[in-house]
A and B are shown apart, each in its own frame.
Chain A
């Protein structure tokens, strides 16, 4: 049992558990799963700067901030206390492609250190992945009115066609970056 908890979990265990978060949040407090809103609440709490979109009672949405704080704690418990393999077991094709296209050599960790270590802020590539990447996520999710949790999981679970449009757009953007912009930029 302990060994099972230490190993990475397969999709058919993790996916249904993620799905159960939707009714769990509804049943314990009438809340819709959606994580990107937490970014807006932090902006509203820290730097509202007279912007109408950031002028609302964010305290009423504080549950969302507790939820993401929990996610952070969960990441710590899972990775540091429950154990993990050194390398994520991705497919051989992906390893081959990333070696050829992004010139990666170190495949250990949850993220490639060659792109996401803090010292990469000293070069343009690091700025693209860390700063531009993060910025696009924050800008795009709010503009779209949700992210993978709010649109893909919670929205599609409630049969929202708007969420289907959003999820298709997420993929259009992701495929464009991976297949067109990566080869052009790197």
Chain B
């Protein structure tokens, strides 16, 4: 079961997101209204730790537990980066959830999160269908 380790890491990730209330609509509203440092602290310190870790991995040429070379793909710019990003931002303020938190909310017992996930799937599907006709 080679995917079991990702399930375990996902469980830990879900616990952290929920325990820190990152999955709460209230916290996201507080963030977009600049009325608390909480979310900025979470995201900012996550980036700092992620950045230091990646530097450590690169400088020491660390390998995966299976001895593979660690590869990090560069993100490609398209006009979708800012158009899609803005569209996601509108949805983020409405739902108070990015994709990860939606799954944690559902697990925590919020039935409405099932609707959010289905609607997000519909959004992803619609983007996939329209992709060739959208500015890139």
Contact = CB atoms under 8 A, between A and B. Distances in A.
A130 B116 contact: yes
**Size band of the B side of the interface?**
35 or more
Given A70-B14, A71-B107, A11 B88 contact: no
Given A15-B43, A170-B89, A177 B94 contact: yes
Contacts, number: 502
Interface residues of A, number: 129
A131 B119 contact: yes
Q: At the interface, is chain B mostly helix, strand, loop or mixed? A: helix
User: Which 9 A-B pairs have CB atoms at the shortest separation, nearest pair first?
Assistant: A173-B89, A74-B14, A70-B10, A143-B84, A138-B123, A169-B85, A19-B49, A134-B119, A136-B91
Interface of B: 3-33, 35-51, 53-54, 56-57, 62, 64-66, 68, 70-78, 80-100, 102-113, 115-129, 131-132, 134
B9 A30 contact: no
Interface in A59-90: 62-64, 66-80, 82, 84, 88, 90
A76 to B, nearest CB: 4
B101 to A, nearest CB: 8
A19 B127 CA distance: 29
Interface of A: 5, 8-32, 35-36, 38-40, 42-43, 47, 49, 51-54, 62-64, 66-80, 82, 84, 88, 90-91, 93-94, 97-98, 107, 109-112, 115-118, 120-121, 128-149, 151-163, 165-179, 181-182
B16 to A, nearest CB: 5
A156 B41 contact: no
